[in-house]
Amino acid sequence: MSTEGLPALAYEQASRRYAGVSAVDYVSLKIERGSFVALVGPSGSGKSTLLRLANRLDTPDTGRVLVDGKDVAHADPIQLRRGIGYVFQNIGLFPHLSVAENIGIIPRLAGREPVDIGAALARVGLSPDLAGRLPGQLSGGQQQRVGIARALAGEGKLLLMDEPFGALDPVTRDTLGKTVRRLHDELGLTTILVTHDMAEALLLADRIIVMNQGKIVADASPRELLSGQAGPEANALVAVPREQAERLAALLQ
C-alpha cells in the first residue's frame, strides 16, 4: 500500500490523562506530508505530550495515533522510534560517547551501514573536526546541532522537535531555526516544532497549531494568525510579537 496520499501523522480522538488531569484531551489532527508545523501554547498545554504520543514515548488512553496511516499501537516501538527523528530541549546527547558515536547511534543500533559523519556534521553547519570530541567539550548551540544531526541520521522523514532551542541564546536560536528550516526543505521532511515562542513559530512554520489545556484552540497559517482571524487565544499570543515588531519599526523611523 502506498503511503503517498496519507497524512504523515494523524491523531484520532487521542487523549492522555495524568493523575486525573487531561494533558491531551480528545485531539483529532492531520499533518500533511512535507509540512512544517509549529505547536504553540502556554506551559502545560499538552504540546509535548502530543509529540510523545507519535513515537510511543507515551501511550494514549483513548483514540489512535497514526504514522503514515498505520496505528502506532500495533508497531514495534523500537523500530518506530528508530524511524522518527526526535530532538529535545535538554538535548540529551550521550555524554560518554563522542560526537561521531552520538550521530551514528541509530544506524549502529539497527545494524545498518555507518553514516558519513563528515557529511552529517556539514549538513548541520559543523566542522568535521568536532567528530572526536565529547559533548561536554561543545557549546550549547553546537550540542543541539549534533542532536539534530543524530535525529536526521536515522533517515526518517518525520522530525519531531520538543522546544529544541529553549535553552539557547537568541542569536543561536535564530541561526539554528534557519538551519532547521533549510534542512526541512532540502530533505523533504515533515517537521513538528513545539515552541512557546510565537515569533519563532510565525517565522519558521507553514502552519501553526495553538493548544490550551489539552485542546487545539487555533489551527491556521502564519498570515491568517497575524491578521487576527484565528480566534481570541491565538490573537493574545500573536499580540506580543506584533506589538514588539511595531515598536521596533517605530524606533527605526
Partner 1 sequence: MNEALRQLPPLLASHVLLAAAALGLALLIGLPLALASARRPRLAAIALGLAGLVQTIPGLALLALFYPLLLALSALLDGRVPALGFLPALLALTLYALLPILRNVIAGLQGIDPAVLQAADAVGMTPRQRLRLVEAPLAAPVAMAGVRTAAVWTIGAATLATTVGYPSLGNPIFAGLQIERWDLVLSGCIAAAVLALATDGLLGLIERGIGQRKRRLTYTGIALLILGLLLACLPLLRAAERTVTIGAKNFSEQYILARLIGGRLEKAGYHVAYREGLGSAVAFRALQSGDIDVYVEYSGTLWAGTMARTDTPSRRAMLNDIARWMAAGPKTVLLGPLGFENAYALAVRPNSGVADIAALAAKAPTLTLGADLEFLDRPEWRAIRDAYGLKFKATRAYSPTFMYRALQSGQADAISAFSSDGRIAADHLTVLADPKGAMPHYDAILLAAPGRARDQRFLGALRPLVNRISVEDMRAANYSVDRDLDKQTPEAAARWLESMLRHRSTPPPDLP
Does residue 93 come out as left (phi exceeding 0), alpha (psi in the -120 to 50 range) or beta? beta
Strand order across the 158-162 sheet: 84-87, 158-162, 190-195, 36-40, 207-212, 215-220
Judged by beta carbon, residue 61 or residue 76, the one nearer partner 1 is 76
Judged by beta carbon, residue 142 or residue 212, the one nearer partner 1 is 142
- Phi and psi at 230, nearest 5°, equal -110, 15
Could you tell me the smallest distance in angstroms from the CB atom of residue 23 to partner 1?
16
Contact residues for partner 1, defined by CB under 8 A = 55, 57, 77-83, 86, 88, 90-96, 105-106, 109-110, 134, 150, 154
CA distance 215 to 29: 11
Could you tell me the smallest distance in angstroms from the CB atom of residue 96 to partner 1?
5
Judged by beta carbon, residue 95 or residue 170, the one nearer partner 1 is 95
Judged by beta carbon, residue 47 or residue 207, the one nearer partner 1 is 47
Could you tell me the smallest distance in angstroms from the CB atom of residue 247 to partner 1?
37
Cell of 81: 522510534
Could you tell me the smallest distance in angstroms from the CB atom of residue 29 to partner 1?
21
User: What is the DSSP-derived secondary structure letter of residue 94?
Assistant: -
Judged by beta carbon, residue 77 or residue 232, the one nearer partner 1 is 77
Could you tell me the smallest distance in angstroms from the CB atom of residue 144 to partner 1?
12
CA distance 48 to 175: 23
Contacts of 84 (CB under 8 A, 6+ apart): 54, 55, 67, 154, 156, 158, 159, 160
| Amino acid identity for residue 145 in this structure | R
